[in-house]
A and B are shown apart, each in its own frame.
Chain A
Amino acid sequence: MMKTAEMLEIFNRHRGDAVVIPGRGGRFWVEMSEQPNRDLPLGDPAMGGHASFALGLALAIPDQRVVLFDSEGDVLMGMGALPTVAEKAPSNLYHFMLDNGVYATTGGQPVPNSEQMEYDVVAQGCGYPATYAIDNLEDFASQIEEILSQPGPVFVALKIDPEIINEPINARPQWQRKSRNQAVADMQAELGISIG
């Protein structure tokens, strides 16, 4: 098991100039990222859609590396996105998935069949050409360079500690520093993307 923040710290050393969609790791990522205009900390626009969003972005900006930190709850809800990612096969997409076994933001109830799921096997079966399953920081640190050095799409299932939130939504700290649309606009400006 890994702490999300510790895993992201290691990733950050290897980020390069990738566009990062931190997903449910967003509250940690915004504290450490040194390139906020290449970040899309969207929070949770609608559960189950992060992989499809990242796919669309990766197809749109093929010269940029796109890194997504998805969650197992999102993947379970939107598992049908994986074959589409595999079919379109964007070589610039790196699909990490945080697996803490629970719905952490609703109090920690287990996701379906949490003890048995092998998400890397699911992704492989959907056609991802490279998949990994990593459950400790040491292995993550030793494999991250290899993961990011190969063409995507790559899927990486990461076992992380549940960091359960059990407060009403309105009572939770607001970690986002800008709106979703501002984050998109800042990325577009950073990458020189013109909108007609």
Chain B
Amino acid sequence: MAELSPARILAELKNNGATHVVWLPDSETNFLYVLMSEEPSIDLVPVSREGHAFSTAAGLAAGGQKPVILIQNTGMMESGDSLRGWGLGMNVPVVMMVGYRGWTRHGVITDTAAFYTERFLHAFNINYYLVESDEDADRISIAFAEAQREKRPVAVLVGDEYHGFNVSR
């Protein structure tokens, strides 16, 4: 299966008019960080706790900007109340790209971070799309369109089995 390249991710963000990436690094995103930090059209807003990503995005959206949230599934689950109050409660049309730690395509998941990820999203009634390779990357545009249309957060689960973001640029 083809891998998911950081350049393809960044292209999707730019094509959809993302103005800010509110993010907390995870182990898969370093090369994406390098690309984003060199991209003049996108402003990086680093947070130290994923819950702040939702309130920050709410403020950016209130001011007419188009933020994207880039976090890991572990942090997403820690952010439940912020997702509820700031993300859903304020109808923020934001795509949350979530590193799917522990995801495997083999049906056997041993990492509880992965085990609870989709269950968490179901509990919050957040729709989501799985992106594992460049061939799936156009689902990111689908998520952007849905977030704008429905005026609520939509998730993109980045299930790259730990290697996709770390391929050569």
Name A residues whose Cβ lies closer than 8 Å to a Cβ of B.
Answer: 40, 42, 44-61, 78, 80-81, 83-84, 87-88, 180-181, 184, 187-188, 193-196
Return 9 A-B CB contacts under 8 Å, by A number: A49-B51, A53-B59, A54-B59, A55-B45, A56-B20, A61-B64, A181-B91, A184-B90, A196-B17
Select from chain A the residue with minimum beta-carbon distance to B80: A46
**CA of A184 to CA of B61, assembled, Å:** 10
Q: Is the CB of B59 within 8 A of A180?
A: no
Q: Which of B51-82 contact A (CB under 8 A)?
A: 51-67, 81-82
Q: A45-B89, A45-B90, A46-B82 are in contact. Are A78 and B64 (CB under 8 A)?
A: no
Main secondary structure of the interface of A (DSSP, over half): helix
**CA of A180 to CA of B49, assembled, Å:** 24
The answer to whether the Cβ of B84 comes within 8 Å of any Cβ in the partner chain is yes
Select from chain A the residue with minimum beta-carbon distance to B82: A46
**CA of A53 to CA of B134, assembled, Å:** 33
Q: Is the CB of B63 within 8 A of A180?
A: no
The answer to whether the Cβ of B48 comes within 8 Å of any Cβ in the partner chain is yes
**CA of A190 to CA of B29, assembled, Å:** 39
**CA of A23 to CA of B61, assembled, Å:** 18
Q: Is the CB of A180 within 8 A of B90?
A: yes
Q: Is the CB of B43 within 8 A of A53?
A: no
Name which of A52, A55, A88, A194 has the most chain B CB atoms within 10 A of its CB. A52
Contact of B51 among A44, A48, A84, A193 (CB under 8 A): A48
Q: Which A residues are CB-close (under 8 A) to B60?
A: 56-57, 59-60
Q: Is the CB of A78 within 8 A of B86?
A: no
